[in-house]
């Protein structure tokens, strides 16, 4: 899990170390709010901040309320709108408003430590989890998405859409905070383009794995701080086990390397599969895959030539184009 997303983990670590902490969650937005529902900020009693609820000056006001909440053991519901100077400073000037729920950790009516600890454990296990909070009664439920009651069904819909928000269930109004597993990207072929792409993907929130059996390509010197696999792509990608939170990008431009990876990727639930190469290269690839028994629909999943057509030329520009297409596939799957 990337460090900047480890907000519940950080709050738990502070409390386990004897430092009081609070969590602030964006629960509703209107207009041009800079952060979406579910965005988190952890605040320690000594003023440490991890995460954000607005990306700007609103954090100071939220932190001030959090300090009081830690002292009193109560929760706070805050709202910032267009009339607030702080809100203007962070981009709410077009009529935007945000509501933020502030709760101390492990004290009073705040989030109970067992609930937070179970959430952190579920995130460590890459389990899809939704934390449901009744803001009126302060009841929390950690939903594993395997039951069939109305609240869990609504939580599954929220998790599938990767969208936190409110729902009505059994006559009660719950805020559903979605905690999906981290996004992952497998890059097959440690080509020049893979260097900026891996960095951009990591900055966007992906756990990146570079797959290339060629030692001179898949070296730590070329890909510092990245997970590297020098197994053949079919074995490496089978172990990677692409799921609905995974993207696979083939960049080697060598059928001996790309094709084995594509054989696994096209049979997986990866939300994005892309491959470098011209349309002519893509046509030859399609012939090989059809000869290997893949259907037209499976082959049609491949984004090729890879990336959004922005006229990219340099490796960094091509990496931008690839990331744009990956994000589009994740956030607007209907466009594919």
- pLDDT for 32 equals 64
- 195 and 310 assigned to the same domain: yes
Q: How many CA atoms lie within 13 A of 326 on its CB side?
A: 30
Sheet of 97-104: strand order equals 49-51, 40-44, 21-30, 97-104, 76-80
- pLDDT for 3 equals 44
Q: How far is CA 215 from CA 177, 212, 255, 273, in A?
A: 42, 8, 18, 24
The domain containing residue 95 runs over which residues?
Answer: 1-113+120-125
Q: What is the percentage of the chain residues whose pLDDT exceeds 70? A: 92
- 187 and 327 assigned to the same domain: yes
Q: What is the dihedral of CA 67, 71, 76, 79, to 10 degrees?
A: -30
- Structural contact between residues 256 and 285, judged by C-beta atoms closer than 8 angstroms: no
Q: What is 138-189 written as a DSSP string? A: --EEEE-S---SHHHHHHHHHHHTT--EEEEETTEEEEEEEEPPPEEEEEES
Listed in sequence order, the residues at least 6 apart from 24 whose beta carbon sits closer than 8 Å to its beta carbon are: 40, 41, 42, 43, 53, 62, 66, 100, 101, 102, 103
pLDDT in tens, 1-10: 344 479 999 9
pLDDT band (50, 70, 90) for residue 336? low
Listed in sequence order, the residues at least 6 apart from 158 whose beta carbon sits closer than 8 Å to its beta carbon are: 130, 164, 165, 167, 176, 178
- 308 and 263 assigned to the same domain: yes
- 252 and 240 assigned to the same domain: yes
Cα–Cα distance for residue pair 173/23, rounded to 1 Å: 20
Number of domains in the chain: 3
pLDDT in tens, 137-185: 999 999 988 888 999 999 999 998 889 999 999 899 999 999 998 899 9
* Strand, coil or helix: 293: coil
pLDDT in tens, 8-67: 999 999 999 999 999 999 999 877 667 889 999 999 999 999 998 886 668 899 999 999
> Of 141, 160, 181, which residue is a domain's last?
181
- 218 and 75 assigned to the same domain: no
- 145 and 36 assigned to the same domain: no
pTM over 0.85: no
- 171 and 194 assigned to the same domain: no
- 188 and 160 assigned to the same domain: no
Cα–Cα distance for residue pair 168/329, rounded to 1 Å: 29
- Structural contact between residues 110 and 103, judged by C-beta atoms closer than 8 angstroms: yes
- pLDDT for 57 equals 64
- Structural contact between residues 258 and 275, judged by C-beta atoms closer than 8 angstroms: yes
Q: What is the DSSP letter of 59?
A: H
pLDDT in tens, 124-149: 988 889 999 999 999 999 998 888 89
Cα–Cα distance for residue pair 328/322, rounded to 1 Å: 10
- 100 and 140 assigned to the same domain: no
- 203 and 229 assigned to the same domain: yes
């Amino acid at each position: 899990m990337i460090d900047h997303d480890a907000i519940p983990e950080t709050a738990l670590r502070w409390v386990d170390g004897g430092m009081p902490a609070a969590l602030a969650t964006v629960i509703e937005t209107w207009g041009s709010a800079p952060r979406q529902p579910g965005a988190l900020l952890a605040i320690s009693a000594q003023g440490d901040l991890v995460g954000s609820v607005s990306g700007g000056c609103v954090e100071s006001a939220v932190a001030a309320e959090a300090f009081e909440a830690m002292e009193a053991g109560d929760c706070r519901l805050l709202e910032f709108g267009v009339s607030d100077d702080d809100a203007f400073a962070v981009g709410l000037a077009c009529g935007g408003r945000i509501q933020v729920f502030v709760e101390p950790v492990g004290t009073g009516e705040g989030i109970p430590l067992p609930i937070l600890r179970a959430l952190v454990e579920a995130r460590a296990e890459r389990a899809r989890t939704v934390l449901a909070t009744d803001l009126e009664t302060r009841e929390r439920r950690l939903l594993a998405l395997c039951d069939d009651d109305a609240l869990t069904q609504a939580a599954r819909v929220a998790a599938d859409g990767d969208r936190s928000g409110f729902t009505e269930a059994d006559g009660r109004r719950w805020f559903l905070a979605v905690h999906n597993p981290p996004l992952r990207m497998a890059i097959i072929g440690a080509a020049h383009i893979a260097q900026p792409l891996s960095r951009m993907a990591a900055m966007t929130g992906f756990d990146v794995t570079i797959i290339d059996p060629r030692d001179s390509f898949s070296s730590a010197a070329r890909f510092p701080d990245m997970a590297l696999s020098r197994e053949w792509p079919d074995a490496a990608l089978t172990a990677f086990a692409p799921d609905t939170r995974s993207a696979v990008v083939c960049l080697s431009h060598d059928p001996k390397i790309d094709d084995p990876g594509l054989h696994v990727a096209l049979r997986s639930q990866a939300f994005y599969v892309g491959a470098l190469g011209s349309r002519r290269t893509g046509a030859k690839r399609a012939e090989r895959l059809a000869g290997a028994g893949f259907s037209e629909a499976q082959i049609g999943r491949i984004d090729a030539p890879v990336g959004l057509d922005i006229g990219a030329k340099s490796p960094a520009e091509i990496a931008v184009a690839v990331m744009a297409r990956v994000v589009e596939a994740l956030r607007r799957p209907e466009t594919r």
